[in-house]
Structure 1
Amino acid sequence: MAQQRMMHTAEAVRGLRRLRELGLTDPRRPVETVRTALEGRVFGPPATAVRRAARTWPDRPGVADERGELTYRELDEQSNALARGLQRLGVKPGTVVGVLARDHRGLLLTMVALGKLGARLALMNTGFAKPQFAQVCERENVKAVLHDSEFIGLLDALPPELPRVLTWVDDGTEIPSGATTLDALIAANARTPLPAPKKPGGFIILTSGTTGLPKGAPRERTGPLATVQMVDRIDFPQGGTMVIVSPIFHSTGFGTWLAGTAFGNKVVTARRFDAERTLRLIAEHRADMLVAVPTMLHRMVELDKTIRDKYDTSSLKGIVVAGSALSPELSVRTAEVFGPVLYNLYGSTECAVATVARPEDLAAAPGTAGRAPTTCEVALFDEDGLRIRAKNVKGRIFIRSGAPFKGYTDGRHKEIIDGYMSSGDVGHFDDSGLLFVDGRDDDMIVSGGENVFPQEVENLLLERQDIFDAAVVGVDDVEFGKRLRAFIVPEPGATLAPDEIKSYVKSNLARYKVPRDVFFLDDLPRNATGKLLRRVLVEYEPPA
């Protein structure tokens, strides 16, 4: 135990040294370093990051959206005014505020304002149906809601007395009588600083909900060691420009926005993803970095070359993807289109960052999840809880993180072994020590007595030039217990047959990994963060 404590202390020292190397702490400005650390203990990450940026780079653009740009000073001052307006609506320290907004200035201003009040931020999924939204709001004890106008209909499920504020109003939208807008609150209140709250309200990021109602993963506060996880193995621009199309309500978008703000970057947001429009944003803003989910990146590299060639993306030095599995095929295609700039971030809402694959890792081993950053460690355990140290042996992935998770808001927790928390995934380390994620633990099926991870079959299918997207699931089978069923989205103009797909898999993998059924779809069901909704495919009713 003493040895373990010494090891963790040494890691913390390395982490702080890394922050100094990257310029996130500056020994030449000790007062600012101490001030930022103290503010982090009461304001929480969003407000602390923007306050520091406003002091350090007040006139740099902090965000660019469809309405233009705001400097860091403007983000700071407008969030002060918004916080005062929310106070008048009854938001107090500890009040849980649900936020249902796409990526734009309104979302960022809201997150910062709530931190300044010591209120609790609950980031809601923009893909919610009304029953899900109502259930999550009830479970998390939401007492006020800030939302985009497109979600007005969802709020019918909430008590009418709950305060609500419109964070964005679409053109042509009729605002309900008596509705309050974020802009009106900002215009009506002073922009001077507020007294600091006594303690941080914290924030709740929801899990993806691919297997049911999303769970709430709370964080009371995050320290500098949480920051080093994100920035240790990813070369973020400093004073540059980032385009974030990954939803900021989820952990990847949220974490990369915080890191980008810490480095004084302009963050370009998009309320809805469009592959060509994203290329246009990169070109127009001369962006240094793109943050996306693999599905988005896939759609970008699959654009016709004549479309891609219309936009100069040579400024890109990094593309960060996370949120769902990165296939080897997408690793290779991205390097062909954009060069060696891809970073694959593997983690979860609960575990934060686990590993990062840098461009050189992906060049050597396409699809790898990479290595753990400073203050993190990944271990494999078998079904009996015994540590697996051998290379190329599958095991359950467990993570020890510098940003520990203390349990879901519904009281449940992840399995923990020797201080390592389960990610819910299965994987292996190769001979070089690079991690590969082989699939979700609960995705594994037993067919005819053989263990099969659908992701292996999916990756093989995606290597074909005539397949745009693919998914494989297990369904009940009287003879085998479970059987594989493949769903394929062909490339435009491609003509495929089930027997052709089965023969292709049989030629490359073991017989028991060949799908018994093959269906062709126009698109695969995915949530807002790009994760495949496997349960929808499991319940799929083939046409008669």
Structure 2
Amino acid sequence: MSTLEHLHAVLRMHQIGIVNLLRPDRLVKAAANNAKIGPQAALIEKAANERPDLPALTDERGTWTYREFFERSNALAHALRKVDLPPKAVIGVLARDHRGLALAITGTARAGMRLAMLNTGLAASQLAELIKRENVRFLMYDSEFADAVDGLPDDILRYLSWADDDYERPEGVLTVDELTAAEPTTVPLPLPEKPGGFIILTSGTTGLPKGAPRTKVSPLASAVIADRIDFPRQGTAVIASPLFHATGFGAWTVGLSLANHAVLLRRIDAEGILAAIAEHRAHMLVAVPTMLNRILALGPDVIAKYDTSSLKTVFLAGSALPPDLCVRFQNTFGDVLYNVYGSTEVAVASVAQPQELRRSPGTVGKPPVTVHVALYGDDDKPITEVGAKGRIFVRTGIPFEGYTDGQHKQVIDGYMATGDQGHFDAEGLLYIDGRDDDMIISGGENVYPLEVENLLAAREDVMDVAVIGVDDPDFGARLRAFIVPTDDSARDPQEIRDYVRAGLARFKVPRDVVFVDDLPRNPTGKLIRRELPTGPL
């Protein structure tokens, strides 16, 4: 990153309100804390000192102010420092979005310990494998995952981050609240020499999730996320995207820097999201595209029950945004969508703002400050022609440390591969054409399923859709479409084929059309393609 880019990012942070260049004393202290305990814990302390009585988070059990949040984080840090753990041991948390997860993130950071945020969609066997791979020796978990946790080795310490009211707790199993009950809340804890950092898991749509560690987080990370997105300042954000994933985690962290109020939803349903927006007069919603589809499926009568006029920003990431869904949502809720493209590895690569989505629905926009996006061909040579497809690579001021298993993404000229194919239009807007590993060759033609998915998603009788490639003895591969139909759908495979043939080239028509009740998606909304049947129907 050049000095000029660095200065530009700092200026943007000042303009957004993340830092105040007119108070260098506070800036220096915050930077020093960030260098030792990481941004989340440092930001909680900063807000507790400057705005202690503002609401920090709300879940179904009530609201914490920033003072209360800081004090509980401090108590957990004191408790963790007393735990006898082997060297390089990692703290794990398996929890939905609620105060227990937020506390785990900030408390482990204050204690200088590394935290692995585990995906709530993991199978028991995957959980056991990840616990071993990431060297987790202390686990905080929600009671609903008790069966999966029971199969872990006995030497792993475990505490409940959340216990359902009807959960019959086994004897000897303590909650995190009980662990910290006797610990001081206001006595300062000596800061660690360096941050423990955290591990975010990739989506794991093609296998066991990889661990993407972040030990040192650049102070400019918030500028990358917030540069092209309208964040509230001391306002409210409903976070309906899991905190254990990069989207929810990043949006929540930027919100902390602005002393925002985070409304966390342990259980996600479309009407519940609208109710939370209305109740808390939320400025922002953090979500994934499938949630938008479910909100619109409620229908105008249900939507009209809730006053969502306060909503100015929908921070959207995690999976592709179909163009038709983009248009329909903004026609209903106004120009509020910010379509974010990125990954666990590269963080935010580009952002499409509402006016860009009006002109070009489905675009992922342009890179934020300090980020650069380039296209490369299969020969690793740059592609610069307007409209030409290529492999997407990103250079960012938030460097990726490599996976915990020692692997790394391909890097060319300082740019890291995202695994996606895309192109730029004449205005410099980026579009995603599909995943590298999703492309099939059918009868000698390159076909990206995403184009067919977007076309079918625009139909009023299609609730959800996925298109994959399967083996074909004549053409090498063919497309198979899985469709979640509406109740009034005719469910006619030939009519679907004719519809695609009228809009796309002949070789892009799916030969197989399968109607299903739902599609396999992970908690972040990404399609788990490996769970779709590829054999004979």
The question of a shared fold, defined as TM-score above 0.5 by the shorter chain, is answered with: yes
Which residue, 47, 51, 61 being the options, matches 2:45? 51
Query: Are 1:511 and 2:506 matched, yes or no?
Result: yes
Cα distance in structure 2, aligned partners of 1:79 and 1:46: 11
Can you list the C-alpha shifts for 1:131-171, whole angstroms capped at 9, x where unaligned?
Answer: 10011111111111010011111112321121111000011
Aligned partner of 1:264 in structure 2 is: 259
Which residue, 330, 338, 343 being the options, matches 1:343? 338
Consecutive unaligned residues of structure 1, counting only runs of 5 or more, are none
Name the aligned partner's letter for residue 279 of structure 2: E
Name the aligned partner's letter for residue 317 of structure 1: K
Which residue, 92, 96, 100 being the options, matches 1:102? 96
Cα distance in structure 2, aligned partners of 1:44 and 1:361: 34
Q: Which range is displaced more, 123-132 or 219-228?
A: 219-228
Question: What SS does the corresponding residue of 1:180 show, helix, strand or coil?
Answer: coil
Q: Do the aligned residues in 1 keep the contact of 2:497 with 2:510 (CA within 8 Å)?
A: yes
Which residue, 10, 25, 42 being the options, matches 1:16? 10
Aligned partner of 1:492 in structure 2 is: 487
Which residue, 319, 327, 330 being the options, matches 2:325? 330
Aligned partner of 2:67 in structure 1 is: 73
Cα distance in structure 1, aligned partners of 2:38 and 2:476: 49
Cα distance in structure 1, aligned partners of 2:248 and 2:84: 29
Q: Which range is displaced more, 19-28 or 85-94?
A: 85-94
Question: What SS does the corresponding residue of 1:512 show, helix, strand or coil?
Answer: helix
Cα distance in structure 2, aligned partners of 1:87 and 1:164: 15
Cα distance in structure 2, aligned partners of 1:23 and 1:65: 26
Name the aligned partner's letter for residue 289 of structure 2: P
Aligned partner of 1:233 in structure 2 is: 228
Query: Are 1:284 and 2:279 matched, yes or no?
Result: yes
Cα distance in structure 1, aligned partners of 2:82 and 2:535: 49
Q: Aligned-pair distance for 1:51?
A: 1.1
Can you list the C-alpha shifts for 1:435-483, whole angstroms capped at 9, x where unaligned?
Answer: 0011111000000000000000000001111111111000011111110
Q: Aligned-pair distance for 1:540?
A: 6.1
Q: Aligned-pair distance for 1:305?
A: 1.1
Aligned partner of 2:195 in structure 1 is: 200
The equivalences for 1:159-198 within 5 A come to 159-192=153-186, 193-198=188-193
Question: What SS does the corresponding residue of 1:422 show, helix, strand or coil?
Answer: strand
Query: Are 1:315 and 2:310 matched, yes or no?
Result: yes
Question: What SS does the corresponding residue of 1:143 show, helix, strand or coil?
Answer: strand
Aligned in 2, Cα 1:485/1:398: closer, same or farther, shift over 3 Å? same
Name the aligned partner's letter for residue 117 of structure 2: L
Name the aligned partner's letter for residue 59 of structure 1: D
The equivalences for 1:144-543 within 5 A come to 144-192=138-186, 193-539=188-534, 542=537
Q: Do the aligned residues in 2 keep the contact of 1:45 with 1:221 (CA within 8 Å)?
A: no
Q: Do the aligned residues in 2 keep the contact of 1:50 with 1:76 (CA within 8 Å)?
A: yes
Cα distance in structure 2, aligned partners of 1:23 and 1:257: 15
Cα distance in structure 2, aligned partners of 1:103 and 1:462: 29
Name the aligned partner's letter for residue 126 of structure 1: T
Name the aligned partner's letter for residue 63 of structure 2: E
Query: Are 1:63 and 2:57 matched, yes or no?
Result: yes
Q: Do the aligned residues in 2 keep the contact of 1:93 with 1:117 (CA within 8 Å)?
A: no
Cα distance in structure 2, aligned partners of 1:335 and 1:84: 47
Q: Aligned-pair distance for 1:127?
A: 0.4
Q: Do the aligned residues in 1 keep the contact of 2:121 with 2:522 (CA within 8 Å)?
A: yes
Cα distance in structure 1, aligned partners of 2:5 and 2:88: 33
Question: What SS does the corresponding residue of 1:224 show, helix, strand or coil?
Answer: coil
Q: Aligned-pair distance for 1:490?
A: 0.8
Q: Aligned-pair distance for 1:375?
A: 0.5
Can you list the C-alpha shifts for 1:386-412, whole angstroms capped at 9, x where unaligned?
Answer: 111111010000000111102100000
Q: Aligned-pair distance for 1:205?
A: 0.3
Cα distance in structure 2, aligned partners of 1:285 and 1:467: 32
Q: Do the aligned residues in 1 keep the contact of 2:139 with 2:156 (CA within 8 Å)?
A: yes
Name the aligned partner's letter for residue 466 of structure 1: D
Aligned in 2, Cα 1:188/1:13: closer, same or farther, shift over 3 Å? same
Q: Aligned-pair distance for 1:55?
A: 1.4
Q: Aligned-pair distance for 1:9?
A: 1.9
TM-score by length of 2: 0.98
Q: Do the aligned residues in 2 keep the contact of 1:92 with 1:117 (CA within 8 Å)?
A: no
TM-score by length of 1: 0.97
Q: Aligned-pair distance for 1:94?
A: 4.6
Q: Aligned-pair distance for 1:93?
A: 8.2
Name the aligned partner's letter for residue 85 of structure 1: A
Q: Do the aligned residues in 1 keep the contact of 2:470 with 2:535 (CA within 8 Å)?
A: no
Question: What SS does the corresponding residue of 2:501 show, helix, strand or coil?
Answer: helix
Cα distance in structure 1, aligned partners of 2:533 and 2:346: 27
Cα distance in structure 2, aligned partners of 1:115 and 1:204: 12
Size of the alignment, in residue pairs?
A: 536
Q: Aligned-pair distance for 1:278?
A: 0.6
Q: Aligned-pair distance for 1:527?
A: 0.5
Q: Do the aligned residues in 2 keep the contact of 1:445 with 1:482 (CA within 8 Å)?
A: yes
Q: Do the aligned residues in 2 keep the contact of 1:93 with 1:197 (CA within 8 Å)?
A: no
Can you list the C-alpha shifts for 1:61-91, whole angstroms capped at 9, x where unaligned?
Answer: 0000000000011110011111222233335
Question: What SS does the corresponding residue of 1:188 show, helix, strand or coil?
Answer: coil
Cα distance in structure 2, aligned partners of 1:93 and 1:368: 46
Can you list the C-alpha shifts for 1:155-205, whole angstroms capped at 9, x where unaligned?
Answer: 123211211110000111011110110111232211022110111001100
Q: Do the aligned residues in 1 keep the contact of 2:17 with 2:233 (CA within 8 Å)?
A: no
Cα distance in structure 2, aligned partners of 1:92 and 1:43: 20
Query: Are 1:26 and 2:20 matched, yes or no?
Result: yes
Cα distance in structure 1, aligned partners of 2:488 and 2:535: 25
Q: Aligned-pair distance for 1:532?
A: 0.4
Q: Aligned-pair distance for 1:23?
A: 2.1
